[in-house]
Amino acid sequence: DTAVSQTPKYLVTQMGNDKSIKCEQNLGHDTMYWYKQDSKKFLKIMFSYNNKELIINETVPNRFSPKSPDKAHLNLHINSLELGDSAVYFCASSQATGETEAFFGQGTRLTVV
């Protein structure tokens, strides 16, 4: 069983489109995250959500929005895609205690053309 799964694995789309990436975790974790990894391998936190609190990195454009239908899912919706949004997006989850690791999904490579 995949602990953190995200779909799709690859996404190619045109500028201006709206797209969503889905994430599900079956670990019973309290906190889920979205990270963006650029070509230089830097993992930048975008959002964290623990069904009580949404923490947004203030540098993230408001075209990006997380949507959580329940504790096990945190989807990422992106409006009006731009070329600079091309990156690998990782979903992750962890327990809320902070003394356990974050588990990552397999990543979604988004290419905006």
Partner 1 sequence: QKEVEQNSGPLSVPEGAIASLNCTYSDRVSQSFFWYRQYSGKSPELIMSIYSNGDKEDGRFTAQLNKASQYVSLLIRDSQPSDSATYLCAVNVHTGNQFYFGTGTSLTVIP
| Residues found near partner 1 in the complex (CB under 8 A) | 30-31, 33, 35, 40-45, 48, 50, 53, 55, 57, 59, 90, 92, 94, 96-102, 104-107
Which CB atom, from 9 or from 67, has the smaller least distance to partner 1?
9
Q: How far apart are CA 74 and CA 6, in angstroms?
A: 10
Which CB atom, from 25 or from 94, has the smaller least distance to partner 1?
94
Which CB atom, from 1 or from 99, has the smaller least distance to partner 1?
99
Q: Which sign does the torsion angle of CA 68, 69, 70, 75 carry?
A: negative
Per the DSSP assignment, residues forming a β-bridge with 110 are 11, 87
Structure tokens belonging to residue 98: 């902070």
